[in-house]
């Protein structure tokens, strides 16, 4: 009996909760995840890797009053699961008391599981042979784009499908399926003995929405070619334009600063700024966990609360922080449905689909508005102080002269302070693409310090 492997994820969750309660848990929750993935890599037309995997694992959190413990396992035999429940409660009894710990209140839990179009069965059915052909096609398109594309660091395709089951002793039980796929290419351009690499990728929930292999390869080649002949520049203060991927990194710093954990630990440059104007009127940033088809979407968060749209910055004003139950209680607030949970850890705060809203100006027009300045396409290093907002990172991109991209630049540093940078946003582009869960269009910052390395 003890060696019997259980396969029904909902029944497994119910069994663990019942066993935890039987052994004296005052509260408990369990997350069970099963999934399969495929990863294929090709370099110079030859297969470098083909990996297919299937996995199931779960985590149980048991409370003994205001003390708790988390255990996890990949052993789904009945005997192992029953021992896990008993040991979890025993561990909870000997851990330190935390007065704000505990499950969310029952009235906060999701009462319906919305279909957010997160699962595409076509992704489940992709064969390694098909994925390999897509990689070869993307790489071949990059290599054929220009004679200066002489090498390749390869092309990769990754996909996976998952089912998540979450249940609590408060009576919540929910599950959802999700899928995702991505294709990328990394060509190398050569000229006068110098080599430059760049990339392009597409990532989607649905296979039909993925960019074609040929277009991914061609775009990657174009990006690599424009890096050839890079120069350095002197130190100066100029307008700086961030392309969409680099602008998304700035939104990522907002995500870290509005996390409830950063706030109560005092490591956020946006602490105590709720209700203040931190950006221009034309800038808004929202987190939307219930966005249909969103790469960060889910119908309920890691504690069973319904996901929702939260206006983080509304017309320039910092309107909301992001909380899970624990960080909200620490700060006397309420969860925003942003709890994220892995099987082996307690919930934490994470954005879902955090995006800076698109403006009305085409990126070409933004570039044309700059007499002399920098267009950033790559950032390096981690020179960001989360407490003060001081910002200094290595960068490369294109120098702008008289409204045109004049020549590539590299080995430079850009510096400022995030609070000043956000206030100095001058234009927001119209080119928002949801290629990742944190996203932004092109943005122009009126002034930053640019220095040669």
Complete DSSP assignment for 105-146: PGGGS-SS----S---HHHHT--HHHHHHHHHHHHHHHHHS-
d(CA 347, CA 100): 13
d(CA 163, CA 116): 14
CB of 35 within 8 A of CB of 48?
A: no
Please write the tens of the pLDDT for every residue from 322-345: 999 999 999 999 999 999 999 999
Q: What is the model's pLDDT at position 452?
A: 84
E strand spans, 252-389: 285-288, 309-314, 317-318, 339-340, 348-349, 354-356, 372-380
CB of 219 within 8 A of CB of 195?
A: no
Domain map (residue ranges) of the chain: 121-163+176-224, 236-250+358-452
CA atoms within 13 A on the CB side of 288: 15
C-alpha pair distances (Å), 73 with each of 55, 60, 78, 88, 343: 11, 9, 12, 12, 9
Record the pTM.
0.94
Structural class in CATH, domain 121-163+176-224: alpha beta
Q: What is the model's pLDDT at position 1?
A: 41
What is the β-pairing status of strands 46-64 and 27-43? antiparallel
d(CA 114, CA 127): 30
CB of 178 within 8 A of CB of 137?
A: no
Going residue by residue through the chain, which has 453 residues, state the pLDDT in tens, using 9 for 90 and above.
Answer: 456 888 899 999 999 999 999 999 999 999 999 999 999 999 999 999 999 999 999 999 999 999 999 999 999 999 999 999 999 999 999 999 999 999 999 999 999 999 999 999 999 999 999 999 999 999 999 999 999 999 999 999 999 999 999 999 999 999 999 999 999 999 999 998 899 999 999 999 999 999 999 999 999 999 999 999 999 899 999 999 999 999 999 999 999 999 999 999 999 999 999 999 999 999 999 999 999 999 999 999 999 999 999 999 999 999 999 999 999 999 999 999 999 999 999 999 999 999 999 999 999 999 999 999 999 999 998 889 999 999 999 999 999 999 999 999 999 999 999 999 999 999 999 999 999 999 999 999 999 999 986
| Assigned token pair, 360 | 């009305």
C-alpha pair distances (Å), 57 with each of 35, 72, 337: 9, 7, 23
Q: What is the model's pLDDT at position 2?
A: 52
For 194-259, the three-class secondary structure string (H helix, E strand, C coil) is EEEECCEEEEECCHHHCCCHHHHHHHHHHHHHCCCCCECCCCEEEEEEECHHHHHHHHHHHHHHCE
Q: Which residues pair with 31 in a beta bridge?
A: 59, 166
Angle at 267 between CA 59 and CA 425, to 5 degrees: 110
What is the β-pairing status of strands 285-288 and 309-314? antiparallel
User: Percent helix, strand and coil across the chain, each rounded to 5?
Assistant: 25, 40, 35
- Contacts of residue 392, Cβ cutoff 8 Å, sequence gap at least 6: 381, 383, 384, 413, 414, 415
Q: What is the model's pLDDT at position 4?
A: 80
Q: What is the model's pLDDT at position 6?
A: 85
CB of 270 within 8 A of CB of 312?
A: no
- What is the rounded (10 degree) CA torsion for 445, 448, 452, 453? -90
d(CA 318, CA 321): 8
d(CA 112, CA 357): 28
């Amino acid at each position: 009996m003890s060696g019997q492997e259980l396969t029904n994820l909902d029944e497994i969750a119910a069994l663990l909760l019942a066993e935890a309660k039987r052994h004296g848990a005052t509260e408990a929750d369990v997350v069970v995840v099963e999934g399969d993935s495929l990863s294929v890599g090709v370099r110079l037309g030859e297969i470098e890797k083909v990996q297919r995997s299937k996995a199931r694992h779960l985590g149980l959190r048991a409370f003994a009053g205001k003390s708790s413990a988390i255990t996890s396992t990949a052993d789904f035999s009945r005997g192992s699961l029953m021992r896990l429940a008993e040991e979890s409660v025993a561990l909870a009894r000997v851990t330190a008391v935390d007065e704000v710990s505990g499950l969310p209140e029952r009235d906060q839990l999701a009462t319906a599981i919305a279909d957010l179009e997160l699962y595409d069965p076509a992704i489940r059915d992709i064969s390694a042979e098909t994925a390999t052909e897509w990689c070869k096609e993307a790489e071949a398109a990059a290599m054929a784009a220009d004679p200066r594309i002489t090498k390749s660091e390869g092309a990769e395709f990754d996909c996976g499908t998952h089912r998540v089951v979450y249940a609590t002793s408060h009576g919540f039980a929910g599950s959802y399926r999700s899928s995702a796929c991505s294709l990328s290419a990394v060509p190398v351009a050569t000229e006068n003995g110098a080599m430059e690499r760049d990339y392009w990728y597409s990532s989607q929930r649905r296979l039909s929405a993925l960019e074609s292999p040929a277009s991914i390869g061609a775009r990657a080649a174009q990006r690599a070619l424009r890096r050839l002949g890079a120069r350095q520049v002197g130190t100066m203060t100029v307008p700086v334009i961030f392309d969409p991927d680099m602008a998304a990194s700035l939104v990522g710093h907002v995500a870290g600063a509005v996390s409830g954990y950063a706030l109560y630990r005092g490591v956020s440059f946006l602490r105590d700024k709720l209700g203040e104007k931190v950006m221009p009127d034309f800038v808004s940033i929202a987190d939307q966990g219930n966005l249909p088809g969103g790469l960060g979407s889910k119908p309920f968060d890691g504690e069973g609360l319904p996901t929702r749209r939260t206006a983080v910055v509304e017309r320039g004003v910092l309107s909301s922080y992001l909380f899970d139950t624990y960080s909200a209680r620490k700060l006397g607030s309420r969860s925003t449905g942003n709890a994220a949970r892995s099987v082996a850890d307690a919930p934490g705060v994470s954005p879902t689909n955090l995006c800076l809203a698109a403006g009305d100006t085409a990126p070409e027009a933004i570039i044309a508005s700059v007499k002399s300045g920098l267009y950033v396409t790559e950032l390096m290093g981690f020179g960001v102080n989360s407490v003060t907002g001081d910002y200094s990172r290595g960068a490369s991109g294109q120098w702008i002269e008289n409204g045109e991209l004049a020549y590539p630049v590299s080995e430079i540093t850009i510096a400022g302070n995030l609070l000043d940078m956000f206030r100095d946003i001058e234009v927001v582009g119209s080119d928002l693409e949801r290629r990742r869960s944190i996203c932004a269009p092109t943005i122009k910052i009126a002034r930053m310090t640019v220095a040669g390395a």
